[in-house]
Amino acid sequence: MTTQVPSHTRLRVTRAGIDTYQQPVVYMHRDCEVCRAEGFAAMTRVRLDVGGRTLVATLNVVVSDRVGLDEVALSEVAWALLDPTPDALARVRHAEPAASAGALRAKVFGARLDDAQYRALMQDVMESRLSDLELAAFVTASAGDRLDHAETTALTRAMIAVGQRLDWGEGPVLDKHCVGGLPGNRTTPIVVAIIAALGYRIPKTSSRAITSPAGTADTMEVMAPVALDLAMMRRVVEREGGCIVWGGNVRLSPADDILIRVQRPLDFDSDGQLVASVLSKKIAAGSTHVLIDMPIGPTAKVRGDAAADSLGARLEHTAGALGLRLGIHRSDGTQPVGRGIGPALEARDVLQVLRNVPGAPVDLRERALALSAALLDMAPGSNAGTGLEGARGVLESGAALAKFLAICDAQGGFREPPKAAFTADVPATASGRIAAIDNRRLARLAKLAGAPAAPAAGLETSLRIGDTVERGQPLLTLHAQSPGELAYALEHAAALQPFALGEAP
């Protein structure tokens, strides 16, 4: 027998028009009868039943007349998840405690969790049953070295289990990932083009920038659409062998996307969560052979050899436990790569390398070739040491460029990167020899100029450690899409000083 819900306990569903990113939020008037009867307060976790769908969300209480007494307004993500029909009504009540509450509490107090407990946690993450405060507690309890190798594997396995997983059939599926922290290191489009041109499958899902001036998806998006769904992604790979799409739209490890949203503002370093994040996405994407690019430098994400050894061991243990063939490529992380930092500027560097333009960034070209060679040498049936020759051959012949343009066409069409309307040089205030380059400060300066929100914004520099500069010589050129953003970046350029000068030889 179905219990009828009295009409006065149901509220009209409206759209608040507020972007709360991935956190479902609902809005109710403080004098709403349901709000008062249920004893709701701000930040209460509530359950909404709308039609045949259920959602757990965080309540924000409205004190003005922007929300009616008979309404519940939904944030954009809540609206998308519930997808209400016109004139829909919602029943709103207190959410039941999350099934994983005990496991979360145990982790906060330092306990080791098993596979079942991590599976329960990730299931509750997916169903929005944990508040951002609870997610922050989990992220904090897992930070540093608080996840051992077994727990890292369990967390990775749980992230894969609660999302979708692609199956490409027989044969190897190659992929690469950079752990990050190096501005301009935009090798992925070149590597994908080379690998696909040689007949291998490489379905690349990439992220947008969160704290950096450009992510691979941001850079690719100035040249071709990247917000493809799974069906479209599959069609592109079946047609061309490879793709470069935004991972947030295909949601192959969606629990990880939610944890990242909470983790990034806290700025906690956690090898365990990094490994679970990277490998869950690769395995969910159907990859069988993955190369990890690990730049090492004092202002990169991995600061030194000891940190690289620790992270590498964790990556290899988890990959081995989950049946993934993994390679690690250590690279120089002491200075930026290419000339551009920012989506369109990095895209221009990529195209110069693919087009074999005289004067194209040599460091970007050689890094992309080295990564392609290492990945090719990992492929089943390959002759060790022959990867570089094959990679160089398809790049110099133009086959890699043709494959890249074909991938762009399959994803929706190629376009040339835009150029910024406003530029300004930042001159050296003294003469000397460049002794060090702070990657983080360079990235910060590119963001102040408007990147990545303004795709053409960022900066260009060709200076490297060991180069000499004269006072008044341009150290870098800022690119902005508005005079205000250019002025703002110029104002901060002198204070940031990403180039450390020593005495000239």
The residues, any chain, with a CB within 8 Å of residue 245's CB and separated by 6 or more, are: 204, 205, 206, 217, 226, 227, 228, 233, 236, 411
CA-based torsion, 394, 395, 397, 398: positive or negative: positive
Compute the distance between CA of residue 404 and CA of residue 413 in angstroms, rounded to an integer.
11
Tokens of 52: 């045949």
Catalytic residue from among 49, 115, 132, 269: 269
Pick the closest to residue 341 from 205, 414, 421, 441 (CA basis): 441
* CB-side neighbour CA atoms (13 Å) of 133: 6
Q: Catalytic: 305?
A: no
Separation of first and last alpha carbons in the chain: 89
The residues, any chain, with a CB within 8 Å of residue 322's CB and separated by 6 or more, are: 153, 156, 157, 160, 279, 283
> What are the strands of the beta sheet with 289-296, ordered from one edge?
174-178, 289-296, 325-332
Compute the distance between CA of residue 51 and CA of residue 249 in angstroms, rounded to an integer.
25
Compute the distance between CA of residue 459 and CA of residue 179 in angstroms, rounded to an integer.
22
Helices assigned H by DSSP within 222-304: 230-240, 247-250, 254-266, 271-284
Q: Which residues are catalytic?
A: 269
